[in-house]
Structure 1
Amino acid sequence: MQSANPAVHLKSVFLVTDKLGVGGAERSVVLLARMLHRRGIATSVLVMFESGPYETLLRDEGISVIFLGFRSMRHITRDPINTLVAFLRLVFLLRRSRPDVVHAFLYYGYVICAPAARLAGVPVVVAGRRNLGYFKENRKKKALLAVERAATRVTDMVIANSKAVADVTLREEGVAPEKIAVIYNGLPPEAFDDASPAEIDTELPVVLCVANLRHPKGHGYLLEAVALMEERGVSCTLLLVGDGADRTALEEQARLLSADIRFLGTRHDVSALLRRADVFVLPSLSESLSNALMEAMAASVPAVATNSGGPSELLEGRGVIVPPGDCVALADALAGVLKDREHARGLADKAQTWARTHLTLDAMVDRYVEAYQEIFRRKRSRRPSR
């Protein structure tokens, strides 16, 4: 039946993001935009609030970057006049440009752009889900969920970046199962390439964690786990890559522990650090999906992560999974990987093989294009015949 439908040829796609700063969601938007552009699909990136390092990269590739004029997340409700003017400007932009697809990422992107796209008559409207909704759990945030549900009703499809996120979306928003799809993030080819290991001044095994220094990432439990390993006679050098609001508190915690813990801040040589690491660890309390964990898999680094959402999907049978917030289990897992290198190498090889099939950039873009085309086909099949 599906083969009888005429082929769908996408001409233009608008991708919407809050900002173009360095982050997992923004990185995925940029990678998707570049690949769509290289496949001959006219692609524009619409930015709601602020620019960032990725703007130059997009423009150098010939991709249009359009700022929508919303002041900031804080001013969405505090400055209703600006919000209304920017919203109407967006509707007129979409009517004039007539894209085939509007795909909005991150909360404010889809709750504002989905209704705007509908008013503008955009054929396909897609919302991206990239978190487990922890920021909506507080009672004061229930309004956020209500707005999200309303926006979801006017979208054609919700695309989650993990099964865990899809499950939360189904449960909290009541989305019909056929309206949601799961597409993992994709890694560029160079993520699988060999790289020279970073020079780290230590004779101990290296444990690497790459994550923003904030509470949901669970760093405090990781520090306790490393200290517990030290007490048991299993020493290591823990490298923490990333920055964030919890850095000062974590540095103070680390000073009280007898372990080699180093805060490296933001780094642009993660690939080299991965090649130097003996094990990668992700201690998150809540995690939709981790690009850093995916990169560790691509680099064939043994990985330990928590059962906090998407990570357990990535490492199923290919890594070590422990409960979130359990420093004893985390210490046991890390020590086990460091002691049994042969088993750890087998897990890492399985992870890399799986990643080459499921986590490449081409695989991600193929699935997005297929999803957009499938929505077109569904809509065409519903049109009454004349």
Structure 2
Amino acid sequence: MTQLRTVQVLGGGSTGSSAHVRSLAAGLVARGVGVTVCAPAPLEHEYDFLGAGAHFVPVPRRGDPAAVGALRAACGGAHVVHAHGLHAAVRTALALSGQDVPLVVTWHSRAQPGGAHGQVVRLLERRVARTASVVLGTSSELVDRARGRGARDARLAPVAVPPPRHGSPESKARAELGAVERPLLTAVGRLEPGRGYGTLLDAAHEWLGLDPVPLVAIAGEGRERASLQRRIDTEGLPVRLLGRRDDVSDLLAASDLALLPSRWEARSLLAQEALRLGVPLVATRVGGNPELVGSAAEFVPYGDAAALAAAVSGLLADPDRRRRLAAAGRAHAATWPTEDETIAQILSIYDELTAPSRGGRRR
């Protein structure tokens, strides 16, 4: 039986999909699979795919016409190609045109544009869904979406990433933020529309009346940074924009609450890390959040600042409720698929698609 050779393709490289590909590459290589990762060059510096034992081919970000040619060359000789995200899948499908190579696509999230852009996205989703041999969704909602777009084979594949590691003392992290004697509320994610940060700032007005006033720390960068900072400065809100951080686990471990106010999520990394660390989570009841965390979080409607403010205020005033949520979170996190189980599921799909051409199934 010949060695299985795979190509993993990333587009813009969201945190979730990039971490998943790093984990998947390391696990596949350890099982004797040849892995090539195609992604924008900066992602190699951040995720060290070479260190996982994979080959790495830099591919320009989406929109660059050179990307399809680079992908076509990189996919030569592959038994199966796996694209992560819609734009990566579109370019990969073009690169594989005319080649008899199975294409697996994982949908880690979904775009939410309206108008003409939304129509284009739906057309792209249909093209990808109908071209792919298998579409994997990280939440049941994404699986249903793929089926609705015409996927011939759509399956649930709830990806797992390494458990959070934090090394700094919690007191140090709190001291650096100025939250030694006040509650620390942490949110993580790109500063972009749909992340719910406007609602979070609205809620922060209500927390000005608490004693002590909690500090809201937001880790992430994005195009809304300037407008959010103007609001914080103008309105005197107890909010700090921390920018991009490589110590998110330390920040979460030091926090009293984790906040996830976004418009939609599939399988939120913040939610996973918070529950594993035993940090009570307040999240919007949207997308895959209820499926992911079950009853181990406090849910609020998206865009409802009053509900968010009340949920946080109530938890800060109720230490017992926070302890129960922390315990429930750890217990629920223990039910999630492990990295090994995730890799085994993906590998079984690869074998299913390629075994006849390679001389039998993997044992």
Scaled by the length of structure 1, the TM-score of the pair is: 0.82
Distance 1:378 1:235 in 2: 64
| Cα displacement (A) at 1:14 | 1.1
Query: Which of residues 116, 121, 135 in structure 2 aligns to 1:139?
Result: 116
Which letter maps to 2:95?
A: A
Aligned to 2:203, the other structure's residue is in SS state helix
Aligned to 2:235, the other structure's residue is in SS state coil
Would the alpha carbon gap of residues 53 and 373 (structure 1) be closer, same or farther in structure 2, given more than 3 Å must change?
closer
Does 2:312 correspond to 1:334? yes
Which letter maps to 1:175?
A: A
Does 2:74 correspond to 1:100? no
Query: Which of residues 43, 52, 63 in structure 1 aligns to 2:43?
Result: 52
What pairs with 1:174-185 in structure 2 (closer than 5 Å)?
Answer: 174-176=150-152, 179-185=153-159
| Cα displacement (A) at 1:73 | 2.7
Which letter maps to 1:51?
A: P
Aligned to 1:40, the other structure's residue is in SS state coil
| Cα displacement (A) at 1:185 | 2.7
> 8 Å contact 2:84–2:107 — kept in the other structure?
yes
Would the alpha carbon gap of residues 145 and 24 (structure 1) be closer, same or farther in structure 2, given more than 3 Å must change?
same
Would the alpha carbon gap of residues 138 and 220 (structure 1) be closer, same or farther in structure 2, given more than 3 Å must change?
same
What pairs with 1:45-194 in structure 2 (closer than 5 Å)?
Answer: 45-47=37-39, 49-54=40-45, 57-68=48-59, 72-76=61-65, 82=66, 86-87=68-69, 90-91=71-72, 93-95=74-76, 97=77, 99-117=78-96, 119-122=98-101, 124-135=102-113, 137-171=114-148, 173-176=149-152, 179-189=153-163, 191=164
> 8 Å contact 1:118–1:154 — kept in the other structure?
no
Distance 2:272 2:47 in 1: 25
Aligned to 2:295, the other structure's residue is in SS state coil
Which letter maps to 2:258?
A: F
Would the alpha carbon gap of residues 345 and 255 (structure 1) be closer, same or farther in structure 2, given more than 3 Å must change?
same
> 8 Å contact 1:240–1:265 — kept in the other structure?
yes
User: Match of 1:384?
Assistant: none
Aligned to 1:231, the other structure's residue is in SS state coil
Distance 1:308 1:378 in 2: 41
> 8 Å contact 2:263–2:284 — kept in the other structure?
yes
CA deviations over 1:109-164 (Å, ceiling 9, x no partner): 21121353362222x321111222213x3324423322331232121111111123
User: Match of 1:38?
Assistant: 30
Bigger mean CA deviation after superposition, 222-231 or 317-326: 222-231
Which letter maps to 1:41?
A: V
* Residue ranges of structure 2 left out of the alignment (5+ in a row): 359-363
What pairs with 1:195-274 in structure 2 (closer than 5 Å)?
Answer: 196-197=169-170, 198-200=173-175, 201-202=178-179, 203-231=181-209, 235-274=213-252
**Aligned-residue CA RMSD (Å):** 2.7
User: Match of 2:361?
Assistant: none
Higher helix share: 1
Distance 1:174 1:65 in 2: 32
Distance 2:225 2:356 in 1: 49
| Number of aligned residues | 353
User: Match of 1:17?
Assistant: 10
CA deviations over 1:201-246 (Å, ceiling 9, x no partner): 2211111111111111110101111211323657311111111111
Identity %: 26
Distance 1:303 1:375 in 2: 39
Would the alpha carbon gap of residues 229 and 199 (structure 1) be closer, same or farther in structure 2, given more than 3 Å must change?
closer
Distance 1:378 1:336 in 2: 59
Query: Which of residues 321, 329, 338 in structure 1 aligns to 2:299?
Result: 321
Would the alpha carbon gap of residues 266 and 226 (structure 1) be closer, same or farther in structure 2, given more than 3 Å must change?
same
Aligned to 1:353, the other structure's residue is in SS state helix
| Cα displacement (A) at 1:352 | 1.8
